[in-house]
Structure 1
Amino acid sequence: MSTTKQKKKHLKAVRPKLRLFRAKEPLFSVFMWGINHSISELTHVSTPVMLMPDDFKAYTKTRVDNHMFNKENMPSHFKFKEYCPNVFRNLRERFNVDDDTYLKSLTKDCPQDLKTNAKAGSSSRPMQSYDKIFFIKTISSEQVAEMHRILKEYHQYIVERHADTLLPQYLGMYRVSINDSETYLLVSKNIFSRRFTIHKKYDLKGSTVSRQASDKEKSKDLPTLKDNDFLSDRRIIQVGQEKRDKLLTTLKADTEFLANLSLVNYSLVVGIHDRDSDDAEPLVLSSDNDLEDDDDDNNTSSPSGRGDPTPPESPQNVRSYPGYADGELDPFLEPFGIKSCESCPRPEIYFLAIIDILTHYGVKKSIEQTAKTVKYGPGAEISTVAPDVYARRFQEFVERITE
Structure 2
Amino acid sequence: MSTATVDSVGRGTKASKASKDHKKPTAAALKGAIQLGIGYAVGNLSSKPDRDVLMQDFSVVESVFLPSEGSNLTPAHHFPDFRLKTYAPLAFRYFRELFGIKPDDYLYSICNEPLIELSNPGASSSWFYLTSDDEFIIKTVQHKEAEFLQKLLPGYYMNLNQNPRTLLPKFYGLYCIQCGGVTIRVVVMNNVLPRAMKMHYKYDLKGSSYKRRASRKERVKPCPTFKDLDFQEMHEGLHFDLDTYNALMKTLQRDCRVLESFKIMDYSLLLGIHVLDRKPLVRGNRCDSRKGQKVLYSTALESIQGNVKDPEPVADDDTLGGIPAKHKDESLLIFLGIIDILQSYRFIKKVEHSWKALVHDGDTVSVHRPNFYADRFLKFMGSTVFKKIHRKLSHQCQSCILRYFCNFSLETHGVVVAAGYTSFNQPDLLPQSAVSFESAQNEEEDAENRSFFYAAQIPGSLQNPVLNDESQNCLMT
Contact kept in structure 1, 2:68 and 2:78, CA below 8 Å: no
**What are the residue-to-residue correspondences of 1:126-145 with 2, within 5 Å?**
126-145=128-147
| CA shift for structure 1 position 215 | 2.2
The aligned residue for residue 208 of structure 1 is: 209
**What are the residue-to-residue correspondences of 1:227-306 with 2, within 5 Å?**
227-282=228-283
The aligned residue for residue 368 of structure 2 is: 385
The aligned residue for residue 172 of structure 2 is: 171
**Matched residue SS, 1:316:** coil
| CA shift for structure 1 position 203 | 0.8
**Matched residue SS, 2:128:** strand
Contact kept in structure 2, 1:173 and 1:186, CA below 8 Å: yes
**Distance in 2, Cα, partners of 1:227 & 1:24:** 33
The aligned residue for residue 157 of structure 1 is: 159
Which of 318, 322, 336 matches 1:327? 318
Classify 1:157/1:323 alpha carbon distance in 2 versus 1 (closer, same or farther; 3 Å).
closer
State the Cα deviation string for residues 317-376 of structure 1 (Å, max 9, x = none): 8679996775254xxxx4xx31227x9842211012110001110111111111111101
Runs of at least 5 residues in structure 1 that lack an aligned partner in the other structure: 1-22, 283-308
**Residues 1:340 and 2:341 are matched in the alignment:** no
**Matched residue SS, 2:176:** strand
**Distance in 1, Cα, partners of 2:331 & 2:290:** 25
**Matched residue SS, 1:153:** helix
Tell me the matched-pair count.
342
**Distance in 2, Cα, partners of 1:84 & 1:397:** 36
| CA shift for structure 1 position 279 | 4.5
Percentage of pairs with the same residue: 28
Contact kept in structure 2, 1:31 and 1:176, CA below 8 Å: yes
**Distance in 2, Cα, partners of 1:228 & 1:205:** 10
| CA shift for structure 1 position 393 | 0.5
Contact kept in structure 1, 2:37 and 2:84, CA below 8 Å: yes
**Residues 1:310 and 2:291 are matched in the alignment:** no
**Residues 1:34 and 2:37 are matched in the alignment:** yes
Classify 1:278/1:381 alpha carbon distance in 2 versus 1 (closer, same or farther; 3 Å).
same
Matched to 1:144, the amino acid is A
Which of 103, 120, 132 matches 1:116? 120
Contact kept in structure 2, 1:29 and 1:73, CA below 8 Å: no
**Matched residue SS, 1:25:** helix
**Residues 1:25 and 2:28 are matched in the alignment:** yes
State the Cα deviation string for residues 18-76 of structure 1 (Å, max 9, x = none): xxxxx97321222222222122222221111x21111101122221235259xx95235
**Distance in 1, Cα, partners of 2:295 & 2:262:** 37
**Matched residue SS, 1:82:** strand
Classify 1:52/1:326 alpha carbon distance in 2 versus 1 (closer, same or farther; 3 Å).
closer
Contact kept in structure 1, 2:120 and 2:127, CA below 8 Å: yes
Root-mean-square deviation (Å) = 2.7
The aligned residue for residue 367 of structure 1 is: 351
Classify 1:339/1:116 alpha carbon distance in 2 versus 1 (closer, same or farther; 3 Å).
same
The aligned residue for residue 90 of structure 2 is: 86
Matched to 2:40, the amino acid is H
**Distance in 2, Cα, partners of 1:205 & 1:80:** 35
**Residues 1:99 and 2:90 are matched in the alignment:** no
| CA shift for structure 1 position 277 | 2.9
Contact kept in structure 1, 2:325 and 2:331, CA below 8 Å: yes
Classify 1:126/1:317 alpha carbon distance in 2 versus 1 (closer, same or farther; 3 Å).
closer
The aligned residue for residue 226 of structure 2 is: 225
**Distance in 2, Cα, partners of 1:255 & 1:183:** 29
Classify 1:73/1:281 alpha carbon distance in 2 versus 1 (closer, same or farther; 3 Å).
farther
State the Cα deviation string for residues 191-237 of structure 1 (Å, max 9, x = none): 01233211101111111111111222222221111111111113322
Bigger CA radius of gyration: 2
Contact kept in structure 2, 1:104 and 1:318, CA below 8 Å: no
The aligned residue for residue 413 of structure 2 is: none
User: TM-score, normalised to structure 2's length?
Assistant: 0.67
**Distance in 2, Cα, partners of 1:143 & 1:369:** 19
**Distance in 2, Cα, partners of 1:313 & 1:344:** 36
**Distance in 2, Cα, partners of 1:388 & 1:175:** 32
Matched to 2:33, the amino acid is V
**Matched residue SS, 2:273:** strand
Runs of at least 5 residues in structure 2 that lack an aligned partner in the other structure: 1-25, 297-312, 388-477
**Distance in 1, Cα, partners of 2:265 & 2:39:** 35
Contact kept in structure 2, 1:198 and 1:272, CA below 8 Å: yes
**Matched residue SS, 1:148:** helix
**Residues 1:44 and 2:47 are matched in the alignment:** yes
Classify 1:130/1:371 alpha carbon distance in 2 versus 1 (closer, same or farther; 3 Å).
same
Choose between structure 1 and 2: higher helix proportion: 2
**Matched residue SS, 1:67:** coil
State the Cα deviation string for residues 377-402 of structure 1 (Å, max 9, x = none): 45x51111111000000011111021
| CA shift for structure 1 position 180 | 3.4
User: TM-score, normalised to structure 1's length?
Assistant: 0.78
Classify 1:112/1:178 alpha carbon distance in 2 versus 1 (closer, same or farther; 3 Å).
same
**Distance in 2, Cα, partners of 1:362 & 1:319:** 37
The aligned residue for residue 297 of structure 1 is: none
